[in-house]
């Protein structure tokens, strides 16, 4: 929204306290003359200038950037930290996640928090975040955040849905080859001093069929890579999608399981995907087939997987995610964490990795840039482009011909007359309803 006022504004809503005070410093900060953004409507990551004509910086923000406090957890990539620090924000950086009680203490005074997959921003935590206006998830998933609670309290949530897709797809291709050749077992044996040269049960992947469950950003990239390796690709998705290359969509999960030599999961965590691969599904798979999961740990019924491996139904499996994961590095993958963990570790031809699908230098750098730029746009301009829990608003930049204009974002329930009850009632306001 745009408001005609030369004065800075304190944004506060009388409706359930949904909006937050951005800052009380009366000095105005300046914005860059050229601002870039990434469109979530496209899989491309190119950035286009929104305003290339502006030659002189214009005062846009009714607050001083040094008043904005940011807390970054879980070793957010340096590229993201640099972008935020360059704005003049107060940036506190920690390499680890925090226990809930300490997180509650730390989050009370911050306006922005950046996390990865381990930090849990529950309703209890967010209820204490009185100044919080935006959350940045420096990863694909947002299931670690109570996004509905955040939306109801005017807190935008951003993530990075594209940046690590290639890294995950490459990991899956590597695991397919490692499983087909039993490389994990042969390497472990030789590390123990045992020479065990065998070919029985070892295969080329050329000519084999890959079944992809979930044909999104990762699944579709994986499809292209697999075909380049000479594989036939089937995929199953809840919606009809355009296949890339010669991949073929099948109508049911059972059809995919019955036709694939390798099955790989790339679905979000939801009630519909919880234990979607269990005893029934393992029975539908080919004898001697392989299972890979680099999506969410809740997707696989783990005791059923152990049984399928021990019975020989599956010839191998690769897991990068688990129902419960440690909060930090260390000797924590035991039965105290998951009751079946030690049974899983005892199996042959199974690859266990610690949720590293997107852990490459390239992916983490791209994620740092993508999420940090989204946070800057939201804090400085109120642009919600790419937010997972709010409608998208991305207004044009103000110009030097509008010296008495300032832009704010005013978040409220969709209730008639809400603006008349707030401080904006005395302004001439151009609004766009956010809920």
Please confirm, yes or no, whether 325 is among the known catalytic residues: yes
Selected catalytic residue, list 100, 325, 402, 423? 325
Query: Phi/psi at 300 (nearest 5 deg)?
Result: -105, 135
Selected catalytic residue, list 116, 153, 166, 355? 355
Please name which of 100, 80, 99 lies closest in space to residue 91, comparing C-alpha atoms. 80
The burial of 404, by beta-carbon neighbours within 10 Å (0-12 exposed, 13-18 middle, 19 or more buried), is given as exposed
Burial letters 202-228, b for 16+ CB under 10 A, else e: ebebeebbbbbbbbbbbbbbbbebbbe
DSSP string, 106-131: HHTT-SEEEE-SS--B-HHHHHT-TT
Question: Which residues fall within 8 angstroms of residue 23, CB to CB, at 6 or more apart?
Answer: 62, 63, 64, 67, 68
Question: Which residues fall within 8 angstroms of residue 239, CB to CB, at 6 or more apart?
Answer: none
Would you say the C-alpha torsion 131, 134, 136, 137 has a positive or negative sign? positive
Distance in angstroms (rounded) separating the CA atoms of residues 433 and 417: 12
Please confirm, yes or no, whether 189 is among the known catalytic residues: no
Query: Phi/psi at 394 (nearest 5 deg)?
Result: -145, 80
Helix, strand or coil, per DSSP, at residue 358: coil
Distance in angstroms (rounded) separating the CA atoms of residues 200 and 163: 39
Selected catalytic residue, list 166, 181, 186, 296? 296
Please confirm, yes or no, whether 191 is among the known catalytic residues: no
Q: Are 315 and 201 in contact (CB under 8 A)?
A: yes
| Beta-bridge mates of residue 224 | none
| Catalytic (active-site) positions | 296, 325, 355
């Amino acid at each position: 929204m745009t408001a005609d006022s030369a004065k800075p504004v304190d944004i506060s809503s009388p409706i359930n306290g949904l909006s937050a005070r951005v800052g009380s410093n009366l000095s105005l900060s300046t914005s860059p003359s050229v601002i870039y953004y990434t469109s979530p409507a496209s899989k491309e990551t190119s950035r286009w200038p929104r305003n290339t004509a502006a030659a002189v910086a214009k005062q846009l923000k009714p607050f001083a950037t040094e008043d904005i406090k940011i807390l970054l957890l879980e070793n957010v990539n340096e590229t993201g930290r640099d972008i935020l620090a360059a704005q003049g924000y107060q940036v506190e950086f920690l390499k680890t996640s925090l226990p809930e009680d300490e997180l509650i203490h730390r989050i009370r005074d911050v306006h922005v928090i950046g996390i990865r997959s381990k930090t849990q921003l529950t309703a209890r935590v967010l209820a204490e975040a009185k100044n919080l206006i935006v959350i940045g998830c420096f990863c694909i998933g947002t299931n670690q955040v109570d996004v509905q609670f955040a939306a109801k309290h005017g807190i935008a949530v951003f993530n990075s849905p594209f940046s690590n897709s290639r890294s995950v797809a490459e990991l899956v291709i590597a695991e397919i080859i490692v499983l087909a050749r039993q490389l994990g077992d042969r390497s472990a044996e030789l590390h123990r001093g045992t020479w065990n040269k065998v070919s029985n049960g070892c295969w080329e992947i050329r000519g084999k069929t890959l079944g992809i469950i979930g044909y999104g950003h990762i699944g579709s990239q994986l499809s292209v890579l697999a075909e380049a390796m000479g594989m036939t690709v089937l995929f199953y998705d809840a919606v009809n999608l355009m296949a890339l290359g010669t991949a073929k969509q099948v109508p049911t999960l059972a059809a995919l399981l019955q036709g694939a030599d390798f099955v790989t999961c790339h679905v979000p965590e939801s009630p519909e995907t919880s234990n979607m691969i269990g005893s029934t599904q393992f029975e539908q798979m080919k004898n001697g087939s392989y299972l890979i999961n680099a999506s969410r740990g809740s997707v696989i019924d783990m005791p059923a997987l152990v049984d399928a491996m021990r019975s020989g139904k599956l010839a191998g499996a690769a897991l990068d995610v688990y129902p419960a994961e440690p909060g930090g590095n260390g000797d924590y993958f035991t039965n105290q964490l998951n009751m079946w963990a030690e049974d899983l570790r005892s199996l042959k031809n199974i690859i266990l990795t610690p949720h590293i699908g997107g852990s490459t230098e390239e992916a983490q750098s791209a994620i740092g840039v993508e999420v940090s730029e989204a946070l800057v746009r939201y804090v400085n301009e109120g642009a919600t482009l790419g937010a997972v829990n709010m409608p998208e608003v991305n207004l044009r930049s103000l110009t030097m011909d509008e010296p008495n204009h300032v832009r704010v974002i005013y978040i409220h329930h969709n209730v008639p007359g809400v603006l008349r009850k707030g401080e904006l009632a005395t302004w001439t306001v151009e609004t766009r309803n956010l809920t």
